[in-house]
Amino acid sequence: MLNTVRYDGPAGTPLLIAHGLFGSARNWGVIAKRLSADRPVIVVDMRNHGNSPWFDSQSYADMAADLAEIIDQPMDVLGHSMGGKAAMVLALKHPEKLRRLIVADIAPVPYQHTQMGPLSAMRRVDPAKVSNRNDAKEQLGDLEPGVADFLLQSLDMKEKRWRLNLDVLEADMPQIVGFPDVTGVFDRPTLFLSGANSTYVLPEHRPIIKPLFPNAKFAKIPGAGHWLHAEKPREFEAAATAFLNMPSPG
């Protein structure tokens, strides 16, 4: 069972949040707490991340099954990037477990990019020889702005280790940047919420999205890239809240 962090809120449909690659539940703490003003919120550490167990697979079938285990009543589900793909597979395989779905800046398609750069950077760090986060940051080397600080949230200084299963994440990177051949339809309300400066969700993806998610709506947050929830948290929260609070169709 995945490690979960729960935020109590008023009675209503709970919201389950699934983070992206190299992330953790703690990355979503501030947003989760604010969203819990309207509903209970549950944030998970995905497998091989954070305080969740380590397994020898990072497939989307397995990640979706992990999420399904958490859901004991119909929930709203929000997933970002890798977590968004896992949430889509969950919705397609177990539509009865979801009321609404928010997919943050990802599409159900394979991507050509790889995330081996950050992973290789983490391998350059020897946690046993690091005395503080600044030392670790220097060892990470040159990364895109903000990436080093994000990765260091998964460095356990007390235990002198990464809270990420780097070996499995590296081995399964083709699956992580890909998308499985999954059948099914999720015909309940779905929001594809993207950063306006991101290229992860493009107009040419819509003919792929619509047969799987026929009630999909699309929205963009101005001035945000792929890390839209971190770059524009208030706008992200407002868009998510507005969608989750919409009257259910029918």
Q: Is 237 exposed, middle or buried (0-12, 13-18, 19+ CB in 10 A)?
A: middle
Which pair of structure tokens corresponds to residue 167?
């070996």
Strand partners, 43: 5, 17
Q: Annotated catalytic residue: which of 19, 49, 80, 226?
A: 226
- 184 within 8 A of 190, measured Cβ to Cβ: no
C-alpha dihedral sign at 165, 109, 212, 235: positive
DSSP summary character for residue 177? H
Task: Strand 4-7: give its sheet, edge to edge.
Answer: 4-7, 41-44, 15-18, 75-80, 98-104, 190-195, 216-221
Asked about 167 being catalytic, the answer comes back as: yes
- 164 within 8 A of 49, measured Cβ to Cβ: yes
Asked about 205 being catalytic, the answer comes back as: no
Q: Annotated catalytic residue: which of 56, 156, 167, 187?
A: 167
Q: Annotated catalytic residue: which of 81, 154, 194, 198?
A: 81
User: Which active-site residues does the annotation give?
Assistant: 81, 167, 226
